[in-house]
Chain A
């Protein structure tokens, strides 16, 4: 029996990288996936359909409240309910490593807009739906860097720290409605975006790899088990948690 049969799951940032791997993984477990992105997500939809899965693409700029609200209302209009929201969209792979004092205000604000305001807006947009259903899952994507204070990407690490905090707050507020809110904290993952950015690979990536108990590169597929678990009824008693999936670099 598939673990997510007929579940309606929205995954932001689903056009590529970890998000695309998430979309494929939940589709393989029987879910109907709403692939959402500012980029074109047709490739992810096609890949899922080729495996016999079900997916649709819906455009969304998570940093924009109208766009976030439209996504949620379009999904409800089309499918009648929402079983899970995965807040995966984030600015990361295109960043250049730099000292914190070199990060400009605009770049800081851009990262915060997508990485923090985006998940906040989508949590706000889906909450009334999930509360009415008295059921639902929100999975936020944080980062293992929060627990290490990784240098070079201070805006990103700070934004993901906010996601850990957001997860805890929203979990406490929605617990009474049988809504689970959890986060996954990945390590540096070799998505196509990361691989195409020399600033993210090379020496920095090797240093990260060496901090792990399991000394190998992390792949997007390493994260899919935790995601399926947190989207499924298997995690019904878990909420407010940030689960680190990083090969044993951070241990909590």
Chain B
């Protein structure tokens, strides 16, 4: 059997890992042998997620982390790296939707208050940047590593259902992937992004699970005519984290049911 996607003995650190896409990626890595550190601001959710992985026979540990505190990200990533003796994979996944879409009046440009804007920038953009800083700090001396950023198709093309702060911060991290990939390549650190389309996650406090009409509309908006389960992000993250992706860097890869067809 091929070992192309194997992560036995690899270590991974995932932010926003208590639920949704972050949890799915962490679980996918663990299922392929990685020792995973789950970071999240939601302590209760985090503990439940780690308990679930450990109960399934995986090796997982929890770090309570609010990515609005960059110094804490450095401490958390460095701490996990020290614990395991190395850090092979870091996923900058934590993010929020932040604000209504432009299709709603509250989402019109003149109505977005700067506190909302600044909070989204802090989490989605500065938080991701600081996570990459923390990852590079441990990976450069190792001269190896994989970094994965959760971008969004909202950051690649505009849509009525996207809001300003989310769209702009996701566009920023997509380009961050390109720049970091160039800088870190000489250290054998590969940097890529995943750009999910409509996934059923609890983003925006579980709005999707309360709004079947919205779900139907989102499903019908993509060629595959359905929304995705977070499980379906596992394979792409695994490709980018494993030997299977050893010549892929600087890519932001949409996984969106064909919405963008880039």
Contacts and interface: CB of A to CB of B under 8 A. Distances in A.
A binds B: yes
B203 interface: no
B236 A214 contact: no
Given A176-B225, A240-B258, 10 more contacts: A168-B261, A172-B258, A180-B224, A213-B181, A213-B182, A224-B244, A234-B234, A234-B236, A234-B238, A241-B262
Contacts of B255: 235, 237-238, 241
Contact of A225 (B4, B178, B228, B257): B4
A229 B244 contact: yes
B248 A226 contact: yes
Contacts of A48: none
Interface in A192-217: 212-215
Given A234-B236, A235-B236, A243-B251, A226 B244 contact: yes
Most buried by A among B4, B225, B243, B256: B4
B111 interface: no
Contacts of B190: 214, 248
A237 B257 contact: yes
A140 interface: no
27 contacts: A25-B2, A28-B1, A175-B224, A176-B223, A176-B225, A213-B182, A214-B190, A214-B247, A218-B247, A222-B246, A225-B242, A225-B244, A225-B245, A228-B244, A229-B235, A229-B239, A232-B235, A237-B224, A237-B257, A238-B254, A238-B256, A241-B260, A244-B248, A246-B247, A251-B177, A251-B182, A252-B251
- Chain A: number of interface residues, binned into ranges: 35 or more
A8 B190 CA distance: 33
Given A214-B247, A240-B261, A172 B182 contact: no
Contact of A213 (B228, B250, B260): B250
B185 interface: yes
Interface string A162-188: 000001100110111010100000010
A226 B239 CA distance: 7
B252 interface: yes
A236 B224 CA distance: 9
B152 interface: no
Nearest to B28: A234
B250 A248 contact: yes
Most buried by A among B228, B232, B235: B235
Contacts of B254: 238, 241
B253 interface: yes
Contacts of B178: 251
Given A175-B257, A225-B242, A213 B247 contact: no
A171 B4 CA distance: 27
Contact of B258 (A28, A171, A243): A171
A240 B262 contact: yes
B218 interface: no
A225 B243 contact: yes
Contacts of A222: 246-247
Contacts of A25: 2, 4
B261 A172 contact: yes
Given A214-B249, A222-B246, A236 B232 contact: yes
* 8 smallest beta-carbon distances between A and B, as pairs: A234-B235, A225-B244, A175-B223, A240-B261, A213-B185, A251-B250, A222-B247, A248-B249
B247 A237 contact: no
B232 to A, nearest CB: 4
B222 interface: yes
A248 B246 contact: no
Most buried by B among A234, A235, A245: A234
